[in-house]
Amino acid sequence: MQVPAHVEYEKAASLEDALNLLVRYGPEAKILAGGHSLIPMMKLRLVQPEVLIDINGLTELCHITVTDSQLHIGALARHAQLLDSSAAGRHFAILHDAERVIADPIVRNWGTIGGSLCQADPSEDLSAAFAALKGTMVISGTGGSRTVSAREFHTGPYETVVGPAEVLTEIRVPLAHVSGSAYLKVARRAGDWPVGAAGAAVWLDGDTIADAGIGLTAVGARHFAAAEAEEYLRGRPAAADVLARAGEIAAENCRPVSDQRGPADYKRHLACELTIRVLRTALRRARENAAAGGYAA
Amino acid sequence: MRIAVTVNGTEYRREVEPRLLLIHFLRDELRLTGSHWGCDTSNCGACVVWLDGTPVKSCTVLAAMAHGREVVTVEGLANDGELDPVQRGFAQCHGLQCGFCTPGMMMTARWLLNRNPDPTPGQIREAISGQICRCTGYENIVRAIRWASDYEAGGSR
Ligand code: FES
Ligand code: FES
């Protein structure tokens, strides 16, 4: 029987309360959101916090809204909420593609988006999706809040820039600069972590790729992104040979490791092939969106 | 710590350790042993119950997190001794063999039909994709859920 070790428990009544509790208890305290990463880790004694600060009551962090310029996702929004958000899916198909293959429907009901990002597993899907979308993370502390780009959020496996007395509160994605997007994952079985996965977000201007964001996960890509391939794509025509080259560049620049999910060379192959395929789908969607009369429509 | 959780319409107040998992609270504290405890690792879905109307894996939720919330377990499916159509579907279509996965499957099935009264077999398979059955090969579970859907649509069986 796996159960967590002894732990104290505090229920935060507000964000301010949660932050004060973090200050009071110090680095041995952990924020408890959905708990779908934390509780399994506690059962295995991979983490042993002294205090859990339960933020599930903070309704102010549960929103998913689209304003004129940005998509706002509260850190406590559940995965299922994102999949159910037609506004989010309309603007960013990549987020629905990704959510459909994250864990399973029951886990998605309770697991939170902020929790997944803060867990910072090197195979996590949304980290790659938000890297592709060049999102922004809002992090709050008792002194106020600050923003960092999605690509600066992770500092290493299971590590983020969120300080011991801070909480990730929101993810923002600008609506401009993306006219089509897609996500694709290869996993060994339903609901599993990826062997490799890729996401793409493109801005198509006529037949030219004005801008592209490429996210990669589980393949050892720096900042979950393929910056060199993006650089190569910028200003080039949306043609098959260009996509093929972008895939090669993405694969050349990641550092996959062999593990029980697959050998490194296979993961590198996936990085290339999945990059090509998500770019192809993102470009097709960009054309469809343009034909329908709006970019991020 | 003291928690108050409403389970199948009844409020229970108990003194619990914060580390107590919801599945153990239900089974060991309340003796509601209908919900099963299988893999312990949020993979099998034997422990699925509703938390505020949404199915969750209760092996991965602390009892403390259910404080002030409403839980529904398989014991709460039947209405006044009358089996829920989902339960009848499982009986009619041989949707179980050993029965270990069944409570979780039925809780997800009821939730699916509440949201989507006429699901395709594909949608049913997607809905139960986080739950493992070692016996049936799933085919009869899908049929059982379809049976309940048809029954509720007024089809005579
Ligand atoms: S016991 Fe909870 S998912 Fe298996
Ligand atoms: S009936 Fe035996 S596990 Fe499903």
Considering only CB atoms, which chain A residues are within 8 Å of B62? Answer: 4, 9, 32, 35, 39, 52
A128, A47: one domain: no
In chain B, where are the structural domains located?
A: 2-76, 85-152
Q: Which of A174, A199, A230 is the last residue of a domain?
A: A174
A184, A260: one domain: yes
Whole-model pTM?
A: 0.96
Task: Inform me whether the pLDDT recorded for A68 exceeds 90.
Answer: no
In a domain? residue A1: no
Q: B2-76 adopts what CATH topology? A: Ubiquitin-like (UB roll) (3.10.20)
Closest CA to A272 of A251, A293, A244: A251
Is the alpha carbon torsion for A202, A296, A61, A57 positive or negative? negative
Q: How many CB atoms are closer than 10 A to CB B92?
A: 16
B46 to chain A: nearest residue by CA? Answer: A106
Residues of A with CB under 8 A from a CB of B: 1-9, 11, 32, 35-36, 39-40, 42-43, 52, 54, 56, 80, 103-107, 109-110, 190-191
How do residues A229-248 score in pLDDT, each as one tens digit? Answer: 999 999 999 999 999 999 99
In a domain? residue A131: yes
Q: Which of A112, A143, A174 is the last residue of a domain?
A: A174
Structure letter (DSSP) for residue A244: H
| Residue B98 Cβ < 6 Å to ligand 2 | yes
Centre of ligand 2 from the C-alpha of residue B137, in Å: 9
Range of the domain at A208: 179-290
What does the alpha-carbon distance between residue B108 and residue A147 come to, in Å, rounded to a whole number? 39
In a domain? residue A2: no
A48, A63: one domain: no
The two tokens of residue B52 are: 């505020």
Which CATH class name applies to B85-152? mainly alpha
Per-residue DSSP letters for A18-65? Answer: HHHHHHHHGGGEEEESS-TTHHHHHHTTS---SEEEE-TT-GGG--EE
Task: Inform me whether the pLDDT recorded for A296 exceeds 50.
Answer: no
A105, A187: one domain: no
How do residues A249-285 score in pLDDT, each as one tens digit? Answer: 999 999 999 999 999 999 999 999 999 999 999 999 9
ipTM > 0.90, yes or no:
yes
Where residue A234 sits, what CATH number does that domain have?
Answer: 3.30.390.50
Where residue A88 sits, what CATH number does that domain have?
Answer: 3.30.465.10
Q: Please, where are the H alpha helices in chain B?
A: 22-24, 85-92, 102-115, 121-127, 139-152
In a domain? residue A295: no
pLDDT band at A294 (very low <50, low <70, confident <90, very high): low
A41, A83: one domain: no
Count: domains in chain A: 3
